Structure formats: structure tokens, C-alpha cells
Amino acid sequence: MTAFVVRAVISGILVAIIATVARRSPGLGGLIASIPLVSTLGMIWLWNDSGDRLVVANYVSAAFWFLLPTLPMFLLIPWLLRAGANFWLSLAAGCGLTIVLYLIMIAILPRFGINHTI
């Protein structure tokens, strides 16, 4: 029961951070909220805080674009684990790949007319 409460508190704090960050930077809020449940809760909280359709729309759009760079991590980590790599090394490699892909996404989106400032 204690683990559940701790997880719920941590999740609640994460959602609060996303909503606060997204108010100032919808792109960064979208980046943080790559998990759909968190993204949905972030949308609800952002709407309640701002009531601004454009801010919520920008946040949701950014969440979509920043979801894409996370997908290869879910291929790399199981591949490394199945190849016998250490869990923590696999996790670090997956996170590192995701960070690199986030940076690439941030660099190329404006070239296609999609501007989500972080």
C-alpha cells in the first residue's frame, strides 16, 4: 500500500510540474509529457489553469511531435536486453538515444514550419 501511495504522490507531482511548465512553454510541457496518460492529465490541468484553447492545442501538438523520438527507445532497450546487456546500461542507452532524437526533433521541426519553443 505504501508503494502505491508513493507512486501516486510522485505521479501527482509530475503532472503538476507538467501543467506548470506547459503554461510557460507548451513545447517543453509536451516533451515532459510523452506518456499518454500523463499527457491527458496534463491537458486537463492546463485547461483548468488557463482555459486557453490555443495553449492547450500547442501543448497537445508538441506532445505528439515529442512522442515520436521516444519510440526507438522501446525497440533499443529490449534488443539490448535480449542480446545480454545489463539492464542499467540498456536503460541508459535508450534514454541517451531518446535525448539525441529529441534534440534532432527540436532542430528540424522549425524547418517544416512547426515551431514549439522550449
State pLDDT tens for residues 53-82: 999 998 898 888 888 999 999 899 999 999
- The DSSP secondary-structure symbol of 35 reads S
Separation CA 58–CA 101 (nearest Å): 20
> Binning pLDDT at 50, 70 and 90, where does residue 99 land?
very high
Helix, strand, or coil (residue 3): helix
The per-residue pLDDT for 10 is 73
Whether 98 shows a pLDDT value over 90: the answer reads yes
The per-residue pLDDT for 44 is 84
Tell me the pTM.
0.65
Task: Determine how many CB atoms are found less than 10 A away from the CB of residue 88.
Answer: 8
Instruction: Give the CB-side neighbour count of residue 5, counting CA atoms within 13 A.
Output: 2
The radius of gyration computed from the CA coordinates of the chain, to the nearest angstrom, equals 16
Q: Do 70 and 41 form a contact (C-beta atoms < 8 A)?
A: no
Separation CA 115–CA 118 (nearest Å): 9
Q: Do 63 and 34 form a contact (C-beta atoms < 8 A)?
A: yes
The per-residue pLDDT for 116 is 67
